Chains A and B, each alone.
Chain A
Amino acid sequence: MRVFVQRAAMLILKLLPLGLAYGILQVGLRFAGDEDLARRLQARDARAMADLYDRYGRMAYSLILRVVRDSATAEDLTQETFLRVWNRVQSFDAAKGALGAWVLAVARNRAIDHVRSTTGRMQAGAIGFDTLDNPKYFSVSGTDALSIDRVRRLKSAFEKLTPQQRQVIEMAYYEGLSQSEMAEKLRQPLGTVKTWTRSALQILRNELAGVAIA
């Protein structure tokens, strides 16, 4: 019995480094950046999908829920979002791409598409979301749009917008309205809506540029 215990202990000691190495590898993979995550997705690593969900699932779900305002629908659309990313990730440039930006764009477009299809508000001549969330658009070198500092400053800048500026931004981003649709809904001249939108975006753009310079 004693010999058996000694042999078992020796076996465990020999196997321990393997377990540790595997654990360290897992931790390392999960702390790796978006570039590595995109490469693992392209290699059809299902665990990379779990990591992608851990990183961006909450943000995508919150965004979709903000647009559709129904939790069951938001769950369906979140699932669609990640499935779409999984199916189209081969076209994504892992070296230069902004994975989080792409996931949020797909999530937003799925949600707007759903709202449009359920309300019958299909805009004549509207550009298809297949084009808008094409991964090639997100294959650009850029700064991390989702860093804490950027989001905090953007949130602060957003709160400084006038109610009209905030309203048109929310209509464009969360309702998917064109400027002419906003003008019609708000019963304002198109020129006025364009001015509100342009000035609001300028404020937000300047805030982000300030972060980049700082």
Chain B
Amino acid sequence: MTCQELSELFELYALGALEAEERAEIEAHLARGCETCAAALANALTVNTGILSLADDYPPPKHLKRRVLHAIGARDQGWGWGWVWALGGAVALAVAVWLGVQERQRTAELADARQTLLQVSGERDRLTAALQFLSDPQTVPASFGKGQTAPPRGYVFLHPQMGVLLIASNLPPAGEGKTYEMWVIPKGGAPRPAGLFQAEGTRAVHILNGPLDPATIGMVAVTIEPAAGSATPTMPILIAAPVGT
């Protein structure tokens, strides 16, 4: 393989996801000291790190930090405040502790703010995409749930280049460990997975990016599935929006 072909495999190589032959070829190539590929491998590690950081954010329990520090014997070695007492006295120590606590809180706040910023940015991007759907003359609308009292209501929009936009309200809770999954069902064809999404309260906006031909689509549906999604819909169908009727 050429350096260019090898460079397309470096992310998977760094993950250990390549077959033995491909891995051996890369290792032999890198062992020859190819600087181009060494740089490409560094870029691949950057991509991997970015993707791994996209996992949904869950704050760890507070006691976990103590466990981690205990594991390296930090408690046994002392936490280093003793000499401050000996040297500084009450006021100096109070100032040091106050500054430390303030900074630690700031670190936690920064982590929270970072997450919030990412969420808000994501929301903004989704709303922008939704507005593009709604304003384009090629968009084909469909609705569901009209005339029903309790079940979900809303609209589906299909666009030849942009894909599918779903706007739903009155959604029932998905339940713990569950998520909503959208399906695109071609006329006379089998349902195709069209992405997982969560509701905000009882409302949800979900976009499937990518070109499709609205004339070939018979229905857009939504079901409740396990958190990792399913290959085929699990009954019952929560939303069924016929297209082109």
Contact = CB atoms under 8 A, between A and B. Distances in A.
Interface of A: 11-12, 15-16, 18-20, 22-24, 26-27, 30-31, 46-47, 49-50, 53-55, 57-59, 61-63, 65-66, 69, 71, 74-75, 78-79, 82-83, 86, 98, 100-101, 104-105, 107-109, 125-127, 129, 132, 137-138, 140-143, 145-146, 148, 150-152, 154-156, 158-163, 166-167, 169, 172-174, 176-180, 197-198, 201-202, 204-205, 208
25 contacts: A12-B91, A19-B89, A19-B96, A49-B72, A50-B74, A53-B68, A54-B107, A65-B58, A75-B67, A79-B64, A101-B46, A145-B45, A145-B53, A146-B50, A151-B50, A159-B125, A162-B209, A172-B15, A176-B15, A176-B17, A178-B19, A179-B19, A180-B19, A205-B43, A208-B43
Interface string B56-87: 11111100110111011110010110001001
B117 A148 contact: yes
B99 A26 contact: yes
A198 B17 CA distance: 13
Interface stretch (B6-14, B132-140, B150-158): B6-14
Given A82-B68, A132-B15, A18 B50 contact: no
Nearest to A201: B11
A19 B95 CA distance: 6
B51 A154 contact: yes
Contacts of A61: 58-60, 64
Nearest to A100: B49
Contacts of A46: 69, 72-74, 77, 79-80
Given A159-B125, A172-B17, 8 more contacts: A20-B95, A23-B95, A82-B68, A104-B49, A105-B45, A105-B49, A201-B47, A208-B43
Contacts of B89: 11-12, 15, 19
A204 B91 contact: no
B15 A75 contact: no
A179 B68 contact: no
Contacts, number: 250
B64 A22 contact: no
Q: Is the contact region of chain B dominated by helix, strand, or loop, or is it mixed?
A: helix
B200 to A, nearest CB: 16
Contact of B121 (A16, A69, A79, A152): A152
A189 B103 CA distance: 53
B80 A47 contact: yes
Given A12-B91, A104-B52, A152-B118, A204 B47 contact: yes
B93 A57 contact: no
Nearest to B125: A156
B131 interface: no
B52 to A, nearest CB: 5
A50 B100 CA distance: 12
Contacts of A140: 38, 41-42, 45
Nearest to A170: B228
5 nearest CB pairs, A to B: A19-B92, A23-B99, A46-B74, A145-B49, A61-B60
